[in-house]
Amino acid sequence: MEKIHYYGYRAAMTANIFLLSTPVTLERLSWIEECLKFFFVQLYPETLMHQQKGDKPVFTFLLTGDALYSLDNPETQQVWTIILSLSTVRLICDRQELDLRGILAVHLKMKFPDQVITTNSLGPDGRPSFWNDVVALARQTKPPLPGTVGWLQCESPYMHQSAWYGLQFLSAALADRLAIDLYAYLDGVHMGHTGQAPTEAENIGAGIEELGERAARNGLLCQVIACNRNATARGYSTWDDGQGVVISTCAIKPVKIRDLNVMIDHYRQNHVILSATAGSLQFRKGGSLSFDRAEKNSTAPPVTILITKSPYTTETVFGAVSFAVACAHAGILTRVIFIEDGIYALTGTHRAPADFSPYNLQDVINAVAGSDNLHFFAFTPSFQRRGISKDKSLNAVLELGYPGLGKIFFYPPGNVQAEHQRVLVF
């Protein structure tokens, strides 16, 4: 029987973590596999030869939600087998979500019993929770030293489970005496609407209020910041009180509707920030440098944004580019990589009629591509898989393959003195 790990047992931060809660397609897992091969061959070749007993994993995948289906799907299961053959990789699975979905993960668990973890750590309340494990790995200081973690929410509550995941993560962080930040962007601003009264789901608004109250009782900081452009577009009646404070009668008390730049200021700090699909990748000191660099010396962790969805159908891609521009403007080295269906933003020549109110995304990319600290890339294997190519007019978007993607993920960029980078998937 697998031992349940007690709270704090996994508190030592591993080199790299990646949270997966959305569907893990064969395409996505394939490029993850190739990047990990690059990672181990270039940075940790000794682990491919042998592993001393007791060595800590250098890469941990945290799986919950629909990502768990990839453990039983025959196609993705094969790729997980290859990934787990790298002995310093492990998976930590959400036991509650495994049971809810009836997923057994027997094949991988039997083959890699020490690397596929299907029980979760106990919290101060004596109950096991996957989010205790996530917090223990996201914490950058040893308890009880102070620290902070953040969560970026881009999807609406109730329709998407990610809002509940965010609250669970932040709740576990408070229990571990960490300060918490919640950033509401795009449809995520709906988390903070007044008057939420679901009959068949946890009340997300009440959950946010409860987090604020718990934080105050324990002398911890809880900040909830919603993007004012997204909030205004969705009817959150706002006004400026004359002192730069944006107020809304549509939002619950803990939620502060602010300019996006106020949110991005928090990204200049060093704490780990996760979202429904996100990573925190630690730079190896003294290693080779990436092929890109910040315009000026910076201590802010770089932000790498993976755009995986097609343009226009939703606001996601435009929102991702806007987020990237704001990060770069704040002096944060920001890399935008169009990958998977995200490459459709770069194919063909996009034309919009003069009276067409939505944006032409290619025009937006060309307009901001020369900004300091902002670099655009297109993932060549995604084009090859679909039999299409990048439009030649988008000269500012550089094409890269697996080695280039691996260098962006794992090599420290020039002019940046940060211990890790943030990877956000839109």
What is residue 4's predicted lDDT score, i.e. its pLDDT?
42
**Mean pLDDT for the stretch of residues 70-90:** 95
Parent domain of 224? 139-282
- Residue 187 phi, psi (nearest 5): -70, -10
Identify the domain boundary among 234, 257, 282: 282
| Residue 54 and residue 189 in one domain | no
Decide which of 359 and 426 is more confident: 426
* Range from 91-95, 138-142, 176-180, 270-274 carrying the lowest mean pLDDT: 138-142
| Residue 401 and residue 275 in one domain | no
Strand partners, 89: 59
Identify the domain boundary among 102, 135, 168: 135
Categorize the per-residue pLDDT at 9 as very low, low, confident or very high, splitting at 50, 70 and 90: very low
Please indicate, yes or no, if residue 49 is contained in any of the structural domains: yes
* Range from 139-143, 296-300, 386-390, 392-396 carrying the lowest mean pLDDT: 139-143
Categorize the per-residue pLDDT at 140 as very low, low, confident or very high, splitting at 50, 70 and 90: confident
| Residue 111 and residue 124 in one domain | yes
Categorize the per-residue pLDDT at 42 as very low, low, confident or very high, splitting at 50, 70 and 90: confident
Predicted confidence (pLDDT) at residue 2 exceeds the cutoff of 70 = no
What is residue 245's predicted lDDT score, i.e. its pLDDT?
65
Predicted confidence (pLDDT) at residue 50 exceeds the cutoff of 70 = no
Domain count for the chain: 3
Predicted confidence (pLDDT) at residue 91 exceeds the cutoff of 60 = yes
Categorize the per-residue pLDDT at 242 as very low, low, confident or very high, splitting at 50, 70 and 90: confident
Predicted confidence (pLDDT) at residue 51 exceeds the cutoff of 70 = no
| Residue 328 and residue 382 in one domain | yes
- Residue 265 phi, psi (nearest 5): -55, -30
Please indicate, yes or no, if residue 121 is contained in any of the structural domains: yes
**Mean pLDDT for the stretch of residues 319-341:** 98
Burial class (CB in 10 A: 0-12, 13-18, 19+), 75: exposed
| Residue 334 and residue 228 in one domain | no
Q: 0.75 exceeded by the pTM?
A: yes
**Mean pLDDT for the stretch of residues 129-152:** 92
| Residue 233 and residue 130 in one domain | no
| Residue 342 and residue 256 in one domain | no
Tell me the average pLDDT of the chain. 91
Asked if residue 144 has a cis previous peptide bond (ω within 30° of 0), the answer is: yes
| Residue 309 and residue 269 in one domain | no
Please indicate, yes or no, if residue 416 is contained in any of the structural domains: yes
**Mean pLDDT for the stretch of residues 250-270:** 94
| Residue 110 and residue 147 in one domain | no
What is residue 8's predicted lDDT score, i.e. its pLDDT?
39
C-alpha 152/C-alpha 127 separation (Å) is 26
Identify the domain boundary among 282, 310, 326: 282
**Mean pLDDT for the stretch of residues 111-137:** 94
**Mean pLDDT for the stretch of residues 378-400:** 96
What is residue 56's predicted lDDT score, i.e. its pLDDT?
67
CATH (domain of 180): 3.40.1260.10
Please indicate, yes or no, if residue 211 is contained in any of the structural domains: yes
| Residue 426 and residue 290 in one domain | yes
Predicted confidence (pLDDT) at residue 182 exceeds the cutoff of 60 = yes
Please indicate, yes or no, if residue 398 is contained in any of the structural domains: yes
| Residue 50 and residue 159 in one domain | no
Please indicate, yes or no, if residue 353 is contained in any of the structural domains: no
Please indicate, yes or no, if residue 297 is contained in any of the structural domains: yes
**Mean pLDDT for the stretch of residues 27-55:** 80
CATH (domain of 20): 3.40.1260
Please indicate, yes or no, if residue 92 is contained in any of the structural domains: yes
| Residue 176 and residue 299 in one domain | no
What is residue 6's predicted lDDT score, i.e. its pLDDT?
37
CA dihedral angle for residue 69, residue 71, residue 73, residue 79, rounded to 10 degrees: 130
pLDDT exceeding 70 applies to what percent of the chain?
91
